[in-house]
Amino acid sequence: MTKAELRKIYLAKRKSISEAEYLQLNHQLCENFFALVDLSFIRVLHTFIPIEKNREPNTWLIIDRIRREFPHIRLSIPKINTETGGLENFFLEGMHQLTLNTWGILEPKQGIPTEPEKIDMVLVPMLTFDMNGQRVGYGKGFYDRFLATCRPTVKSVGLSLYEPVEIIQDIEDHDVPLTYCVTPTQAFSFQS
């Protein structure tokens, strides 16, 4: 299937899940993330802040646990730069730093910028992914452009509430594949 077809299907799937199922999937996803992703060499981890109305994976569960159990990891969060169409990144200081943007997404209103080359791991938002590590996002390209500015060794970890599709048909040259993807039931590695 194409990205547009998959985007339509997975947006509808997310809207149809119950609150109880959403909470359960997020709990299992968080448990799998910490069980299956090696954080021992990570110093700076970039994470998206979930758009809860879109039923995105709840990264707050991961953020809170990292802050408690991995104090050596600094967290970085994105802010959309509407002029450039890119992401700016800031170290997460606390809830006082966040404000809703025009799309209803929490983002930092101020903070210490995070240089992309300092980031070791990026948690990537998406709707679905395939067995080759390609993903379908919302179609704006924010994360593909952002990942292209990071070091080649950065680990990109997709978080998905659903299992992969076989293949996304319309992959383009600028699409950046994932290193790993974690779901509520397992983790996938796409490293060669």
- Domain assignment present for residue 95? The answer is no
pLDDT score at 192: 59
Which strand (E) or helix (H) includes residue 3?
helix 3-16
Element holding 188 (H helix, E strand): strand 187-189
Inside any domain, residue 62: yes
- 95: which DSSP letter? G
Give the residue from 64, 75, 170, 73 showing the smallest Cα distance to 114. 75
Q: Give the range of the structural domain holding residue 172, as residue numbers without chain letter.
A: 3-37+56-74+114-189
As given in the structure block, the two tokens for residue 72 are 């050596």
**In a domain? residue 88:** no
Task: Give the torsion through C-alpha atoms of 118, 122, 60, 57, to 10 deg.
Answer: 170
> What one-character DSSP code corresponds to residue 181?
E
Widest CA span in the chain: 42
Q: Identify which of 89, 94, 92 has the alpha carbon closest to the alpha carbon of residue 78.
A: 89
pLDDT (0 to 100) of residue 105: 85
Strand partners, 181: 158, 188
Looking at residue 191, its pLDDT comes to 78
Report residues of the chain scoring pLDDT below 50: none
CB atoms under 10 Å from CB of 81, counted, come to 11
Q: Is residue 84 part of a domain?
A: no
Residue 32, SS3 per DSSP: helix
- Assigned domain for 100 exists: no
DSSP 48-80: PPP-GGGT---HHHHHHHHHHH-TTPEEEEEEE
42 belongs to a structural domain: no
Query: What pLDDT does 151 receive?
Result: 95
Q: Is residue 82 part of a domain?
A: no
pLDDT of residue 70: 96
User: Which residue in this structure is represented by tokens 């379908």?
Assistant: 136
Number of domains making up the chain: 1
Please report how many Cα atoms fall inside a 13 Å half-sphere around the Cα of residue 148, on the Cβ side: 11
Residue length of the chain = 192
Q: Domain for residue 101, yes or no?
A: no
Around Cβ 148, how many Cβ atoms within 10 Å? 12
Share of the chain residues as helix, strand and coil, in percent rounded to the nearest 5: 30, 25, 45
CATH of the domain at 7: 3.40.50.10420
